Amino acid sequence: MKLSVIKAYMLKEFTELFRSKLIIMVYVMPSMIMLLFGYGIRMDVTHARTLIIDNDHSHFSRMLTAKFEHSKYFNAKLTQISEAEALHRIKQAKADIIVIIPSSFEKRILHGQHSEIGVFVDGAFPNRGMTMESYVQGVILDTAQSVGRSLGRQSGMISINSRNLFNQAMRDADAIVPGLIGLVLFVAPAILSALMIVKEKERGTIFNFYASPLGRGEFLAAKLIPGFLLHSLNIFILFLWATELFGVPFRGSFMLYWFAAEIYILISLSIGMLVSVITRKQVVAVVLTIIITIIPGFLYSGILMPISSMAGESYIEAHLFPVMYFNHIIYDCFLSGTGLASAKTVEYLGILIVYAALLLALGSMFLKKELK
Amino acid sequence: MADLEVRNVTVSYKKQIGIKAASLQANAGEIIGFIGADGAGKSSLMHAIAGVIRFEGEISYFSEVYHSPAEAEKIKPYMGLMPQGIGLVLYETLTVDEHLSFFAHIRNLRQDAAFKAYRQKLLHMAGLSDFTDRQAGKLSGGMMQKLSLICTLLHRPKLLILDEPTTGVDPLSRLELWEILDTIRKEEGTIILVSTAYMQEAAKMDRVLLFDEGEILARGRVSELIDSVRAYTYEEGACIGKDNAESGCLSFDKRSYSLDTLAAAHAEPTLEALFFVNALRKKRILPKIEIEARESTLEIPETVMEAKGLTKNFGDFTANDHIDMRLGSGEIVGLLGANGAGKTTFMKMLLGLYPIDEGELKLLGKSIKSSEDRQVLKAKIGYVSQHFALYKDMTVRENLIYFANMHRIPLSTALKRIERYARELGFDAYMEHLPGELPLGINQRFSVAAALLHEPVILFLDEPTSGVDTIARAQFWEMLHRLKATWGISILITTHYMSEAEYCDRVVLMRQGKKIADNTVKALYAKHPQARNFEDIFLSYYRSEA
């Protein structure tokens, strides 16, 4: 390994990256994914269009209506239309929820009789439907308690006192954005390193490596270090997007976040290198890298569902990819801040380091200095 | 023992053998030429010697012996390889200067005063001293090859392996490349292995190896090889009456070849005779060509196409500067010039692929101005591009049907025509094959068939013979002459083989976007009585105006 040789080769790589404008992709793509997904994925529901048909016009029914109207989760509208007409509105996708208050609502409650409120929820998107349903139930339960209190009954038979840990505000961004960093830093460096090696194969310039005394280690170093340095900057850029734009809190150690992210980039670069071993065309390399990285990067990132709730094959698969380990650390850094005090974080960091070392070794083993 | 010894080297790929049990010896200061058709095994052997591909057998270079790429690492400091393909080892966005520093660095050369002087000398020899700031992607093909060569020479290799360094390069650049090689071998005592498609070049080498189907068929000094085929070479015209494959008689470039004794005078053979004699021996001749008259009857005027002062600018670079050209009916015009002289741009303008910046273009007496006019233009011209624009995933038949659809030829007519062309041009046996599985000579024929489907009045051919072996080239020209005779079609063709210029009725010579000569071959010879062949005429034009 001669440092001057690596330096000269790296200089060539940087010159090419800048002159071929590939450098734009290195910085635009990660931020673009972050912004698109960050704004695009919304799990919580706000401003659900709610039609309330009040057939009772009583004090209690107005109380219930008011609760809906004052909630940020609903855009409630009191109407006089028929039930059939209201259902038609849902079909036309002009409303999400219908709440029907029966005509003798107050009277029955005052008589201590059972009363039913009709609720229809658009369940086209199951997740969203379930969320809306639970919101509606919450509002009704809340109203029922108020009603109970106003009737002077000692209603506090059951009361729910829930508090969300780690993501107290239950904000979507807090749950998704750290996972996105894990996704982006898995995809982008891999594409770059795959491109940088396969480009030489496709063009034919790889002969300069094959036919010269240049060592495999020198070649790999010259190919991986530029990607490593360039993407190291992305660690900071993505951090700023997360904390400044999406307002995600950061409670842990920045050094831990930084260190883990650098190791993670190394893993991603090695995956790209492995892809370049088996491909000859840049297009194929890019598509293959995207398939290999983006699917596990997304599915097993913990964005869609927590790994702990996975079962069987998906649980095993999740543990095979490095995404899960990194995301554990990153969510810890952003949301809980336990850091190295948690044995699991230390273990996962260790796994990441082993991963990086293993992939780098595999890559340099498979990269042959000869034509196929 | 020779300085370089190759013993029983075999290179095999997944499906086929690249080269089988090849041996050779070479000594310091020798130039060994590799000749043979595409896929004959030249590149495979070169890659094995360069240690960039796995092989069986043994290679020794002085005291170093190697059997694999890994073992070959120890000779790489002394070795230089220039693989096949124009500018293949260059980085498009790096300048000439940056290339030289890059290659010096990765070879870990000490950049002292002696190195700098050598580097200057190489730049000067390659004529690149004034272009050190230009990016490789913006150099002409000839300049790219010269830059590749000096990058390969930078570390003063003692074993230089050059795979078709001159293919697709114009005669002048070719000559300059050879001058560099000759100087280097004399000064440095380098062993040079070089493959070439140009037999005039092969004739300059110390020894020549003839490759065919993965074997070395013949080897020796040029004079020995030529002697070996003298008995089968006759004067032009000896084949008349039985001029074709089945009769075992072939003609090309003023000579006829036959294994049988003919009652005709013998001619002095060139190295090309080796190919013809080998093909005759192996009875491996492409099917013959018969062409019938076109289906549509057409009144073709005396002048089919006329260009006046055609100009094309790319930014502040003038690719074509006021070029006049006339294409008469049934005329074959050769468009010659160095790489980057503007031949392809000119052809694309005539085709209507580029808008014309200045000047006038007339087709069949009508001026071409609007884009609708250009549409009419395209319908009258058949075009075969530099690398045969065929679809690799479709069979020959599917390709032809696709091209017929593009020209909106009714399917029934198209199918009939495709059958007819396949029969006449002799590729009907290959209709269900993919282009990648076929010899280049067959691809070349069916590309022409695709360009003829709409029965054009003009045929444009952009370097149709580059990389095609001698015999396929001979038959290609025979086909063009038959087309001209039976169809009355006009042909505009570009080529880097100067011997092919002699088959044209008229030659247009271009240099740096300008027309510098336009005359019949006969008149050009009359003007240059000292010229031995057309290459001399070409070079005299380029030199006198340089």
Domain boundaries of chain A, sorted by first residue? 3-41+171-366, 48-150
Of B79, B94, B135, the CB nearest to A211: B79
CB A267 within 8 Å of CB A356: yes
CA A286/CA A292 separation, integer angstroms: 10
- Beta B4-12 vs B56-61: how paired, if at all? antiparallel
CATH superfamily entry for domain B303-384+432-445+460-545: P-loop containing nucleotide triphosphate hydrolases (3.40.50.300)
Which amino acid, B314? F
Beta carbons of B50 and A205 less than 8 Å apart: no
B448 to each of A324, B168, B310, B425, how far by Cα in Å? 58, 20, 27, 9
Q: Minimal Cα–Cα distance from B280 to chain A, Å?
A: 35
> Which residues make Cβ contacts (< 8 Å) with residue B487, sequence separation at least 6?
B291, B293, B294
Report pLDDT digits (tens) over B185-232: 888 889 999 999 888 889 989 999 999 889 999 999 999 999 999 999
CA A296/CA A289 separation, integer angstroms: 11
Residue span(s) of chain B under CATH 3.40.50.300 come to: 4-220, 303-384+432-445+460-545
- Beta A74-79 vs A48-54: how paired, if at all? parallel
Residue ranges of E strands in B450-513: 458-462, 490-494, 506-511
Cβ-count burial of B489 within 10 angstroms (0-12 exposed, 13-18 middle, 19+ buried)?
Answer: buried
CA A59/CA A106 separation, integer angstroms: 7
Beta carbons of A370 and B69 less than 8 Å apart: yes
Q: Minimal Cα–Cα distance from A1 to chain B, Å?
A: 11
> Which residues make Cβ contacts (< 8 Å) with residue B329, sequence separation at least 6?
B300, B301, B302, B303, B304, B457, B488, B490
CATH superfamily entry for domain A48-150: abc type-2 transporter like domain (3.40.1710.10)
Report pLDDT digits (tens) over B459-494: 999 888 877 778 888 888 888 988 898 888 999 999
Mean per-residue pLDDT for A23-52? 86
Range scoring the smallest mean pLDDT among B98-107, B141-150, B290-299, B433-442: B290-299
Q: Minimal Cα–Cα distance from B306 to chain A, Å?
A: 40
Beta carbons of B70 and A204 less than 8 Å apart: no
Beta carbons of B94 and A12 less than 8 Å apart: yes
Of B53, B79, B91, the CB nearest to A205: B91
Q: Is A133 on the interface with B (CB under 8 A)?
A: no
CA A291/CA A297 separation, integer angstroms: 10
CA B31/CA B221 separation, integer angstroms: 11
Comparing A137 with A201, which gets the higher pLDDT?
Answer: A201
- Give the residue from chain A lying closest to B152, CA to CA: A208
Residue B157 with chain A: CB contacts under 8 Å:
none
CA A287/CA A301 separation, integer angstroms: 20
Report pLDDT digits (tens) over B138-184: 888 888 999 999 999 999 999 999 999 988 788 888 888 888 888 88
Residues of chain B by 3-state class (helix, strand, coil), percent to 5: 40, 25, 35
| Count of A-B CB contacts under 8 Å | 83
- B499-533 as b/e, with b when 16 or more CB fall inside 10 Å? bbbbbbbbbbbbbebbbbbbeebeebbeeeeeeee
CA B198/CA B1 separation, integer angstroms: 31
A78 to each of A63, A75, A83, A98, how far by Cα in Å? 13, 10, 13, 10
CA A172/CA A164 separation, integer angstroms: 13
ipTM of predicted complex: 0.83
Which amino acid, A280? R
B177 to each of B182, B278, B340, how far by Cα in Å? 9, 30, 17
Beta carbons of B81 and A8 less than 8 Å apart: no
Where does the pLDDT of residue A161 fall: very low under 50, low under 70, confident under 90, or very high at 90 and above? Answer: low
CB B114 within 8 Å of CB B96: no
Comparing A285 with A78, which gets the higher pLDDT?
Answer: A285
> Taking the CA of residue B252 as centre, how many other CA atoms within 13 Å lie in the half-sphere pointing to its CB?
25
Residue A213 with chain B: CB contacts under 8 Å:
73, 76-77, 107-108
Does domain B4-220 fall under CATH 3.40.50.300? My reply is yes
> Taking the CA of residue A215 as centre, how many other CA atoms within 13 Å lie in the half-sphere pointing to its CB?
10
Residue A371 with chain B: CB contacts under 8 Å:
47, 52-53
CA A321/CA B382 separation, integer angstroms: 55
Which amino acid, B357? D
